[in-house]
Chain A
Amino acid sequence: MSNTTADPGPRSAGDDAILPDAVLPDLASLDVPKVPGGPKAFVGRSPGQLAWIRLKRDRVALASAVILVVAMIVALSAPLVQRLTGISPTDQFTDQLTDFGALPVGYLGGISGKHLLGLEPGLGRDILMQLVYGLRTSLFIAFAAAAISTTIGVLVGVVAGYARGWLDGVINWVIDLALAFPFLIFALAAIPVVENRFFTARDTIPASFRVGMIIATFAVFNWTNTARLVRGQVISLREREFVEAARASGAGTAHILLRQLLPNIWAPILVTVSLNVPAFITAEAALAFIGIGVTEPTPDLGRMIYNSISYISADPMYTFLPGITIFLLVLAFNLFGDSLRDALDPKSSR
Chain B
Amino acid sequence: MVRFVIRRLLLAVTTLFAISVITFLLFFAVPSSPAQVMCGKNCSPEQVTATEHRLGIDRPIVEQYGTFIKGVFVGRTIGSGDFVRQCPAPCLGYSFRTDEPVTEILKRTVPVTVSIVIGAAVMWLVIGVSLGMTSALRRGTLFDRVAIGVSLVGASLQVYFFGLVLLLALVYSTGWLPAPSYTPFTENPGKWALGLLLPWITLGFLNSALYARLSRAQMLETLSEDFVRTARAKGLPKRTVYLRHALRAAITPLVTIAGLDIGASLGGTVITESIFGLQGLGRVSVQAVNDLNLPIVLATVLLSAVFIVAANIIVDVLYAVVDPRVRLG
Report which A residues bind B (CB closer than 8 A).
1-3, 5-6, 8, 11-14, 173, 176-177, 179-186, 188-190, 192-193, 196, 278, 282, 285-286, 289-291, 305-306, 308-309, 312-313, 316, 319-320, 323-324, 326-327, 330-331, 334-335, 338, 349
User: Are B265 and A3 in contact, with the CB atoms below 8 A?
Assistant: yes
User: Are A326 and B31 in contact, with the CB atoms below 8 A?
Assistant: no
How far is it, in angstroms, between the C-alpha of A308 and the C-alpha of B158 when the chains are bound? 15
How far is it, in angstroms, between the C-alpha of A1 and the C-alpha of B275 when the chains are bound? 18
CB distance from A88 to the nearest CB of B (A): 26
**Interface members, chain B 235-292 (any A CB < 8 Å):** 252-253, 256-257, 260-261, 264-265, 267-271, 274-275, 282, 285-286, 289-290
Taking chain A's interface residues, is the majority helix, strand, or loop, or is none over half, making it mixed?
Answer: helix
How far is it, in angstroms, between the C-alpha of A282 and the C-alpha of B160 when the chains are bound? 9
User: Are A2 and B253 in contact, with the CB atoms below 8 A?
Assistant: no
> Which one of A6, A278, A289 contacts B270 once the chains associate, using CB atoms below 8 Å?
A289
How far is it, in angstroms, between the C-alpha of A302 and the C-alpha of B165 when the chains are bound? 15
Q: Which residues of B contact A320 (CB under 8 A)?
A: 165
Report which B residues bind A (CB closer than 8 A).
11, 14-16, 18-19, 22, 26-27, 29-31, 152-153, 155-161, 164-165, 167-168, 172-173, 203, 206-207, 210, 213-214, 217-218, 220-221, 252-253, 256-257, 260-261, 264-265, 267-271, 274-275, 282, 285-286, 289-290, 297, 300-301, 304-305, 308-309, 312, 319
Most chain B CB within 10 A, of A5, A8, A324, is at A5
Q: Which residues of A contact B18 (CB under 8 A)?
A: 177
CB distance from A315 to the nearest CB of B (A): 11
Name the residue of chain A whose CB is nearest to the CB of B288: A185
CB distance from A183 to the nearest CB of B (A): 7
Q: A5-B210, A189-B30, A319-B161 are in contact. Are A176 and B312 (CB under 8 A)?
A: yes
Q: Which residues of B contact A289 (CB under 8 A)?
A: 160, 270-271, 274
Q: A184-B270, A185-B301 are in contact. Are A349 and B158 (CB under 8 A)?
A: no
User: Are B270 and A176 in contact, with the CB atoms below 8 A?
Assistant: no
Name the residue of chain A whose CB is nearest to the CB of B203: A3
User: Are B286 and A188 in contact, with the CB atoms below 8 A?
Assistant: yes
User: Are A312 and B156 in contact, with the CB atoms below 8 A?
Assistant: no
How far is it, in angstroms, between the C-alpha of A14 and the C-alpha of B297 when the chains are bound? 39
User: Are B301 and A12 in contact, with the CB atoms below 8 A?
Assistant: no
Q: A181-B22, A334-B152 are in contact. Are A5 and B257 (CB under 8 A)?
A: yes
Name the residue of chain B whose CB is nearest to the CB of A188: B289
Q: Which residues of B contact A190 (CB under 8 A)?
A: 26
How far is it, in angstroms, between the C-alpha of A179 and the C-alpha of B264 when the chains are bound? 8
User: Are A3 and B207 in contact, with the CB atoms below 8 A?
Assistant: yes
Contacts A196-B31, A326-B161 known; 8 new A-B pairs at CB < 8 A: A1-B268, A3-B207, A184-B286, A192-B30, A282-B158, A309-B164, A309-B275, A323-B165
User: Are B158 and A326 in contact, with the CB atoms below 8 A?
Assistant: yes
Q: Which residues of B contact A5 (CB under 8 A)?
A: 210, 257, 260-261, 264
User: Are A182 and B267 in contact, with the CB atoms below 8 A?
Assistant: yes
CB distance from A324 to the nearest CB of B (A): 8
User: Are B164 and A319 in contact, with the CB atoms below 8 A?
Assistant: yes
Q: Which residues of B contact A189 (CB under 8 A)?
A: 26-27, 30, 289, 297
CB distance from B75 to the nearest CB of A (A): 26
